Amino acid sequence: MKSQRKAAQAAEEAAGRILGPDGAAKFIFEEDTKGQEGQFRIAGEGNSILIKACDGVSFLCGLNWYLKHVCKKQITWETRFPLQLPDRLPSLPEEIVMQSPYRYRYYLNYCTYSYTMAFWDWDRWEKELDLMALGGVNLALSLTGQETVIRETLLAMGMTREAVERYLPGCVYYAWFFMGNMDSFGLRMPEQWYQERLELAGKIHRRMLELGITPVLPGFYGIVPESIGEIYPDVKLAKQGKWCGFSRPSYLSDKDPLFSRMAEIYYRKQKELIGDITPFFAAEPFHEGGRREDFQIPEYGAAIYGEMKKYREDAVWVIQGWGENPVLSLFERIDKQSLLILNLLSARIQDSSRITESFDGIPWIYCPVHNYGGRNSMYGFLRTMAREPLELKKRDNNLAGIGLAPEALETNPVFYDLFWDMTYRREPVQIKEWLEEYVERRYGGKNESVVEAWRLLEDSVYNSFVPQPGGAESYLCARPGWGITSVSTWGPKQVNYDTEFVRRAGKLLYGQKDRFEDSDGFVYDLVDVTRQALANESRILYNRMMYWLGQGRKEKFREAVKRFQKLLRIQEQVLQRHPAFSLERYLKMAASWGAHYGMETEFLKEAKTLLTTWGDERCDVLHDYSAREWSGLTGSFYARRWELFLAEQIRQFGQTAAEDGLNLTKDWEDDEKKTKPMMGDSAWWYQWEKEWIDDQYSFVDREEENENGEAFEEVYRILIL
């Protein structure tokens, strides 16, 4: 275990990255000989602020607490380091002492590694690790480098490199591979990629351990390629069927000697390549389906944990609570204290802990999903997060921690800001007062207008109380058709708040743009609220178009079409006002990695696929699951889809598309004049979407910055009408 002095040194180095050398010099990090893990003390005055703790996470939590609640400075994804501090720091009238009520403060989801992290370099990872420590995280899922562990294990089992490459997925699909959902789809990654993923993993894990964050690594639970039977003809395999159209890996029977042999090789390879760095191992048998009938479930669970325990006597099996998972009979022959369930249903389903009855006495973590697929609708449940974990902690001894398992990051910063606070609070937060402080530190000041805007947002988009996967989606992002009720298959069918609150909040923020225009947080929020207001308007305009179409009222339909198209154009212009809402930023990361391997085109296609079709024609149910309201994506992909669809509706009215500024340019007949799938069919859309993906230049360039804000003014003219 790292010494306390090393923890203080790690905190000092992190402060240097966050605040720069001059800012960091104003803080002293000192070992707290009387303290305990999860506690920090802050005292001092002027430019000599003393923070005492005994672990790196608590040191940085103390730093963050002072910056947020005393210095009124916010640190989030958009924050540019080094953070600028006043010449003289505010003094503390008395010592601040905070002790986390939670043993574990957990973070991340398998899906995060695909939807957000697939193309991260070390610089981006370094910032995220600092944010994790500042927020109190001491336990985090870590998948980077595990691709190589799996690969080397299969090679050691006698598989050829070609067979292993056919089995393993592309770089953006590993999340679902590790959960046993899919294999064999996506890019074939070059040898250098696997080696550099290991190097990146080494940097990540060294920094985690320096800061006091314990990694959760994937454990072995028997997933193998079906083709392993070609090497071991007598192997006992349980085929797992399909997941969303994709083939699943097969499972080795725990009765087969190969199960124990492969587990031994897997953990040995993990130790050689990653290190013996944690007792926590994640394993997800039968996640979102799979076939259980070939197993005696208690024996299978005992076998999975038994192999973990052979490797680490203190092993803890970490597993997601999601839908019908986990199958609790898996744990009948395992000491409950060797298990940890992440309750991903927390907050999403009211009283989920009462429904699951604390998983029959197994330790669990309050761990909402929050984000789904990277969709950036405004969404959260601030009131619930502010009280429920602490209330549950008081009455449930099996609640072992608090956490978040978002499928993607870099959306809805207010929700995460509150979560970082809750990791150390021992009493519920009064949201009204907390929001006023939030606005002040985010914008560098406040007035009644911006505070009122946030009250409206908290009482609408951030007070979600209906079980649903994320916020209200924008119909601008929908695959065009008749009878749309959601953009993604499982997306919310209704808006569960008063949309007028969002419009009013947007107008209030817009009215203060001159005062707060130098605040990056304010600009982000103005774009985000405006985007959500337009997203809500798109649902109304879509239904208006469909109404007049159904009524056969040509002029009314044409008017609604023009208004909907204008909404698309304005949304694109609004999104260009902040880089956080940019397709270009995402594609540049993918292109950079791809160029490194001489595979720029291939990496770009993989990145664009995940955002649009998700996969190939097999998985139509997943199209637009990751729909993101980003500039570039809106201006080319979404706008062009709608243009094609609406042009066809105009044509069916018996007039030319050109009359309405629409252009149906694609010849949808092949060389032999055989009819292609009908427009509007899923196969037709997939064909067009695939061509957009394959076009290396299929996104619009960022337009010249509109410094005068005409796009915003046009928005509010639209919303007022």
Q: What is the pLDDT of residues 135-145, one digit of tens each?
A: 999 999 999 99
Among the candidates 99, 120, 138, a domain finishes at 99
Whole-number Cα distances in Å, 623 to 109, 186, 261, 373, 555: 21, 16, 39, 11, 33
* Residue 704 pLDDT exceeds 60: no
Mean pLDDT of 175-202: 97
Contact at 8 Å (CB) between 32 and 54? yes
- What does the pLDDT average to over 376-405? 95
Q: What was the pLDDT predicted at 12? A: 97
Burial class (CB in 10 A: 0-12, 13-18, 19+), 15: buried
Tell me what pLDDT residue 324 has. 84
The 10s digit of each residue's pLDDT in 212-256 is 999 999 999 999 999 999 999 999 999 999 999 999 999 999 999
Q: Is 295 left (phi over 0), alpha (psi -120 to 50) or beta?
A: beta
Residues 141 and 274 in one domain: yes
Write the CATH number for 680: 1.20.120.670
Is the pLDDT at 662 greater than 70? The verdict is no
User: What pLDDT, in 10s, does the model give residues 599-615?
Assistant: 999 999 999 999 999 99
92 with 113, same domain: the answer is no
Portion of the chain with pLDDT greater than 70, in percent: 93
Residue 604 forms part of a structural domain? yes
Q: What is residue 103's DSSP assignment? A: S
pLDDT digits (tens, 9 = 90+) for 265-293: 999 999 999 999 999 999 999 999 989 99
153 and 184 co-located in one domain: yes
Mean pLDDT computed over 618-639: 96
How many domains, the chain? 3
Considering the domain boundaries, does residue 449 fall inside one? no
Distance CA 538, CA 565 (A): 10
The average pLDDT across 376-389 equals 95
**For 108-115, what is the mean pLDDT?**
98
- The order of strands in the sheet holding 250-252 is 223-224, 250-252, 237-238
Q: What percentage of the chain's residues is helix, strand, coil (to nearest 5)?
A: 50, 10, 40
Q: Tell me the per-residue pLDDT of 310-369, one tens digit each, with 9 for 90 and over.
A: 999 999 999 999 988 899 999 999 999 999 999 998 987 767 777 777 788 999 999 999
| Whether residue 108 sits in one domain with residue 95 | no
- Domain contains 436: no
What's the pLDDT score for residue 657? 46
419 three-class SS: helix
Mean pLDDT over 507-534 rounds to 96
Question: For residue 175, what is the domain's CATH number?
Answer: 3.20.20.80
Is there a domain that residue 435 lies in?
no
Q: What's the rounded Cα separation, in Å, for the pair 156 and 363? A: 36
Cis status of the peptide bond prior to 82, with omega within 30 of 0 = yes
Label residue 663 by pLDDT band (50, 70, 90). Answer: very low
Asked whether residue 18 falls in the same domain as residue 117, the answer is no
Helices (H) and strands (E) in the chain, counts: 24, 17
Tell me if 341 sits within 8 A of 365, measured CB to CB. Answer: yes
Closest CA to 574 of 628, 626, 630: 630
Q: How many residues does the chain have?
A: 721
Residue 183 CA to residue 521 CA, distance in Å, equals 40
Q: Report DSSP state, residue 295.
A: S
pLDDT tens-digit profile of 81-107? Answer: 999 999 999 999 999 999 999 999 999
164 and 289 fall within a common domain: yes
Q: What is the pLDDT of residue 356?
A: 75
Same domain, 297 and 332: yes
pTM of the model: 0.94
Pick the last residue of a domain from 52, 71, 99: 99
Q: Which tens digit of pLDDT belongs to each residue from 664-680?
A: 344 334 444 444 556 66
Residue 450 inside a domain? The answer is no
Q: Which domain holds residue 402?
A: 104-428
Mean pLDDT of 617-642: 96
Are 80 and 112 contained in the same domain? no
Whether the Cβ atoms of residue 76 and residue 416 lie closer than 8 Å to each other: yes
Distance CA 65, CA 67 (A): 6
Strand partners, 325: 322
Average pLDDT, the chain: 92
Q: Please say which residue of 99, 121, 142 terminates a domain.
A: 99
Let me know if residue 448 belongs to a domain.
no
- Residue 616 is assigned to a structural domain of this protein: yes
pLDDT at 189 over 50: yes
The answer, yes or no, to whether the previous bond of 326 is cis (omega within 30 of 0) is yes
Same-domain pairing of 91 and 200: no
Same domain, residue pair 171 and 93: no
685 band by pLDDT with thresholds 50, 70 and 90: very high
Q: What are phi and psi of 308, to 5 degrees?
A: -60, -45
CA–CA–CA angle 709, 714, 717 (5° rounding): 135
Enumerate the β-bridge partners of residue 104.
401
Together in a domain, 215 and 125: yes
Asked if the structure places residue 154 within a domain, the reply is yes
* 214 shares a domain with 148: yes
CATH number at residue 68: 3.30.379.10
